[in-house]
Structure 1
Amino acid sequence: MSTTIAEPRAPHAAPKGRGINLEKWGWLYMRASGVVLVVLIFGHLFVNLMVGDGIHAIDFAFVAGKLSDPFWQWWDVAMLWLALIHGANGMRTITNDYVTHRTTRSILQWAIWLAAAFLILLGTLVVFTFDPCLGFDPATASETIIELCAA
């Protein structure tokens, strides 16, 4: 019995009972998320490093002010989710390529996805529950924090 490899651009015919082609969707996700991540990351860098006083303005008050705005919360969460899923999918691909033992590969892939899910959950909680006024002391706080916490 000979096995032939399909042409790279040939339409995928899923084997009986298999369903969707996860490798194809993973490949497409990597390309789409990569493009969106470039826009999100360069937007993030531009606002943080070029607008206003640039890098000299970045301190706790700057981050607190940014994370109090829903637009920047969603921007950061989109960047977090896309980057972590993109990275986990890349690690999954590397694991598929280099780990030959089936059980080891399965354990590593579960560990990758569990770590990504934990970091996504933790990061999302931090972004949406961040409170710069926790332990607020007006005597030691900057003007920006005082304005944020006075409201």
Structure 2
Amino acid sequence: MTTIDAPRSKAPQPRARRVNWEKWGWIYMRASGVVLLVLIFGHLFVNLVAGEGVKAIDFAFVAGKLADPFWIVWDTLLLWLALIHGANGMRTLVNDYASKPIVRRILLGAIAGSTIVLLLLGTLVIYTFDPCPAVGPAELLPSFCPAR
């Protein structure tokens, strides 16, 4: 005669705790989306509505903004949150539609690589921007730079 063990007759084995990256990616998309709304509309208001509008945006306007630590932090947050938000969205699309594992790995690697490069270059531009460099011909300097 064959006997069938009672369900759950054996004690369940404890599973190793792992980080649920999908859950944290989902939470990040919602939280960063809310913060990005504030950052983007603030950016658009300052650049397009306040002051003289879009015709006032030139090299001097950007140089003035990047001389203020508040706008450096604002632009850095905007850059990092938007790029990581976009990369996470692209990662989700690749996971949903790339059926072959090798293609998925290649695409995810390309997304990660391009995101890292853009984050590094964008951050470098924000923090090293100098409208009045010490070297270079004086005639190429903007008019607001002191004579050197």
TM range (shorter): 0.7 to 0.9
Aligned-pair Cα RMSD in Å: 1.9
User: Partner of 2:37 in structure 1?
Assistant: 38
Misfit runs of 4+, over 4 Å? none
Distance 1:16 1:92 in 2: 27
- Conserved? CA contact 2:66–2:129, under 8 Å: yes
Residue 136 of structure 1: CA displacement?
A: 6.6
User: Partner of 1:75 in structure 2?
Assistant: 74
Show the 5 A alignment for 1:13-24.
16-17=15-16, 19-24=18-23
Residue 16 of structure 1: CA displacement?
A: 2.8
Q: Which amino acid aligns with 1:103?
A: I
SS in structure 2 of the partner of residue 103 of structure 1? helix
Greater shift in the superposed pair: 107-116 or 82-91? 107-116
User: Partner of 1:49 in structure 2?
Assistant: 48
Give the percent of matched residue pairs that are identical in Structure 1 and Structure 2: 64
Number of residue pairs aligned between Structure 1 and Structure 2? 132
Residue 138 of structure 1: CA displacement?
A: 6.2
Distance 1:126 1:101 in 2: 37
User: Partner of 2:6 in structure 1?
Assistant: none
User: Partner of 1:106 in structure 2?
Assistant: 105
Q: Which has the higher contact order (CA 8 A, sep 6+)?
A: 1
In the superposition, the TM-score normalised over structure 2's length comes to 0.82
Show the 5 A alignment for 1:135-146.
135=136, 137=138, 141-142=142-143, 145-146=144-145
Q: Unpaired runs of 5+ in structure 1? A: 1-14
Distance 1:90 1:37 in 2: 14
SS in structure 2 of the partner of residue 124 of structure 1? helix
- Conserved? CA contact 2:79–2:122, under 8 Å: yes
In the superposition, the TM-score normalised over structure 1's length comes to 0.81
Q: Which amino acid aligns with 2:111?
A: I
Greater shift in the superposed pair: 132-141 or 94-103? 132-141
User: Partner of 1:84 in structure 2?
Assistant: 83
User: Partner of 1:121 in structure 2?
Assistant: 120
Distance 1:49 1:16 in 2: 54
SS in structure 2 of the partner of residue 133 of structure 1? coil
Q: Which amino acid aligns with 1:44?
A: H
Residue 21 of structure 1: CA displacement?
A: 0.8
